[in-house]
Amino acid sequence: MYVGFKCFIAFNNREIYGPFQPSQASGSDHSMPSCHAEVNAIKHVIKVKNIKSLHKATMYIIRWSYNKNTNDWTLQNCIPCADCVNYIKKFNINKFVISTNNSTFIKVNFDYIYNNTKPSTGRLYGS
């Protein structure tokens, strides 16, 4: 099964940055931890906009998978991992739109993300 992740950061739905996706810390050593899409997005936007807070931003996080048995793409639940949630908190993002298993998107706040996050499966660098 193929799984994909994308993250966008938008300001007033007019200024959109992305898509961002996870990246390997080292292309030659796959045992090294990844930099998750949410962290890639935040690092890029704060650098480009030269700002320290993203309190006016909305983070869009999308996860999907391809199932060979059904030959179809489907949206999946996409709550950031615990490491990403801790990183996101540093930049005051409180508005999110996330994909769900019901093939829909929902608007949620930071408390929803924080209360539904799970531990990371890989450690982040630069967090």
Chain segment 53-85, per-residue pLDDT in tens: 999 999 999 999 887 888 888 898 999 999 899
Is the dihedral angle over the CA atoms 65, 37, 96, 79 positive or is it negative?
A: positive
Domains of the chain: 2-116 (3.40.140.10)
Instruction: Give percent helix, percent strand, percent coil of the chain, each to the nearest 5.
Output: 20, 35, 40
pLDDT at 126 exceeding the cut of 80: no
Q: What is the mean pLDDT of the chain?
A: 86
* The two structure tokens encoding residue 106: 């929902």
- Cα(47)–Cα(17) distance, rounded to whole angstroms? 12
